[in-house]
Structure 1
């Protein structure tokens, strides 16, 4: 006798309306991680992972592309508004925040959390 095929249950997609965008801008790369309010990562992107290599990773345009990629992935979770934490002295700080705004997020606060 043949066994009946086992149906896998569909995993319910997480719906999050508000989250936190962590932007780490170093002199060599920019890392954007978007989390829920508890700190669980929903999406992330880097300048290097977006196809930029060498000195082009540290440009504001590379940070903009990475922020757009992370933002569109977070939009799939139903996210609409963000609190932004920016860390580091890199050139991609402002470009990443502007790109998240351009994706369509309502940005509540922008906080500089660079350690001193």
Structure 2
């Protein structure tokens, strides 16, 4: 028979072990999180601190021994029921320490990859990539269809500044459907920007459609201007089983 003090010690160690099991599930589930945001980094650091506190609790739990009872004739040796609990605490301690090490290693890998400029790291680009996206001063919309290429320059609010197409560039009929149409339309936009003295500090290129003037218009930007292109987006609409396509043309 165990004394009252022995029962209380076993009950306290059992409660701590159950709390540690729940904590292990929480930390092991979050140990594979490789997010690079500042909030996730703070959460990982908080988890590591909590893990260290739990490690200290478990180490003290595994080191405690049950006090022998004076009323029991076999009180000279410790109770046999305390051995499985001590072993379980050691297993819990080992599992929790492994989860803590995985968290620290993943945090070091993520921060090292973002900050390293050599060896495949992102460096300064990685910090800008995962930071808040800054709005660009101007947007340029390239609408490339199979028959024409329409280019519109707008400010950050979306208000149009100038709109040019292959037709305004002097191309007629089937000539508006080639890649030269997109190049000439972009050259016309560049001329209008110079006439109006528009200062383009940063540019967001939005492409729509898969016409032949799509790539040639972008090549004109890189070849004839020094505009700082911050972002390139594809705004081509994708139907999700929407409108019925037109009947196939019969020749």
What TM-score bracket applies, with the shorter chain setting the length? 0.7 to 0.9
Answer with 35-44 or 97-106: which moved more. 97-106
1:98 maps to 2:219? yes
* Secondary structure of 2:163's aligned partner: strand
**Separation in 2 of the partners of 1:48 and 1:100?**
19
Higher strand content, 1 or 2: 1
Q: 1:110 aligns with which of 227, 232, 238?
A: 232
Give yes or no for contact 1:23–1:32 (8 Å, CA) kept in 2. Answer: yes
Residue segments in structure 2 that go unaligned for 5+ positions in a row: 1-135, 239-251
Q: Which has the higher contact order (CA 8 A, sep 6+)?
A: 1
Normalising by structure 1, we get a TM-score of: 0.80
Structure 1 residue runs of 4 or more that deviate by more than 2 Å after TM superposition:
none
Q: 2:193 aligns with which of 68, 74, 79?
A: 74
CA deviation map 1:33-91 (0-9, x unaligned): 00001011111210011110111101111110111111232242122431100001101
RMSD: 1.5
Higher helix content, 1 or 2: 2
Q: 1:41 aligns with which of 137, 156, 160?
A: 160
**Separation in 1 of the partners of 2:161 and 2:173?**
27
Normalising by structure 2, we get a TM-score of: 0.38
Bigger Cα Rg? 2
Give yes or no for contact 1:72–1:103 (8 Å, CA) kept in 2. Answer: no
